[in-house]
Structure 1
Amino acid sequence: LPNKAFFKKDFFHAVKDVNFSIPQKSTIGLVGESGSGKSTLGKALAGLINYQGSVLYDGVNIDQLNSKESKSIKKDIQIVFQDPYGSLSPRMTVGEIVGEGLDVHFELTKKQKNERIADCLKAVEINPDDRFKYPHEFSGGQRQRVAIARSLILNPSFMILDEPTSALDRSIQIQVIELLKNIQTEYELTYLFISHDLKLVRSMSDYIFVMQNGLIVESGPAKQVFSNPEEDYTDKLLNAALRYSTV
């Protein structure tokens, strides 16, 4: 995934030689130091940046799809970003934000659309009566729930969670993590959980991928990676993050 530096002619590869698969209905924890390529990889999978190589989704190469097929895949792959306030338009009500994608991907009556919006707000524990409010009227944790509802309303199978709790207080982080777990079970979702917080990753993930300098240097079942890491980099990363407390 070549990125061009501002005012420079040279390129560097933020992510390179990455090859992996994600089992359905599982959670992959993607960890690594800042700048290791975690978020770049997530954005590539979501189709938000250009890349060299291929992404196979349910056995289909998404780079070779026509516009109609690509639209369907984009509905099925959703991403939740780190900053819940920055990712929500301040000029739109919460109901408009959550329901925006419905007009693109579905043909619904106004009543059906409002019902879907209400159901998704309930799913993330937001009162549907608050759908006429604006993002600034909600707390950070509530705004992130709105962002989750916006993705959930399209009935995705795969959600990329890019540092979804890092901007939140610890107590709110735990609440959002529990919400994500409950939603995953209810909607049979597959997660790519990107985070630098290894305590949260350990509590959330079935498998772990460790990134360093754009490469996946270690991967395996979460219990195995946390209890018996094979790479020195992974060992140092875990020791630095988990030295003082456990989840």
Structure 2
Amino acid sequence: MTSPVRIGPYRIERLLGAGSFATVWLGHDPVLDARVAIKVLAENWHHDLRVRERFLDEGRLLRRLDHERLVRVHAVGELPDGRPYLVMAWADGGSLADRLADGPLPVPVALAVLAEIAAGVAVLHRHDVVHRDLTPGNVLFRSTPDGERVLIADLGLAKALAAASGLTARAGTPGYMAPEQDDPLAVVDTRADVYGLGRLGLRLLGADAARPDPARLRPGVAPEVAAVLRRAVVPCPAGRHPDASAFRAALHHAAARKAGPDPVATVSRRP
């Protein structure tokens, strides 16, 4: 893939990542004198009006929510060929997928990260939005003066709760998406994201990264935490925690029973 020299007024430094629907570049904003992440709709999709609108919806949603636990959008632009792009805050700490590729996180750190992910998803739920695609690649880290912040990214599949059911196609990533997301007639609500949080928890705390299993967690994971994860990933939505806030509260309570007060309050900086 050839790197563009510029996208709009932004000088491009390097590729950050590429997916099925978009490519993300690291750019430099000359006005802010700061690095930014620029997400560009993939060339093979820009004639599909439905995909194009979904891409722009992500930018509008992030701009409307404008929260420190979500990736922030600074601007929206359009390339000469008509493809839209989003100018976003750069998450300089990379993704959770990057970190897990280097090996498992220590159990206390993994618990802290999971709690912070849940806090970010809870922001969406408070605004009646369901993410629908919680994966390690969609969890980012950004340095701040107060330490490292966990951010929720890629809201391309996010939907307002009122519009999240009756969909006509599968939406989500196998291994992390809730079973009901594979049913075009099913009701998809905040409990689908609870399932995603549970699957992320199994990836972070499971004994076998290739085969996450609630019955096989790493040494040091309290049985109470295991019970929280088991509840989160039950096939029937009615058996799960109702939303991300409830999941996070249950996780806190479970971890506190073993570790003492405020056991998942701090995300360690990357070594």
Q: TM-score normalised to the size of structure 2?
A: 0.26
Larger helix proportion, structure 1 or 2? Answer: 1
The structure, 1 or 2, with the larger RCO (C-alpha pairs under 8 Å, 6+ apart) is 1
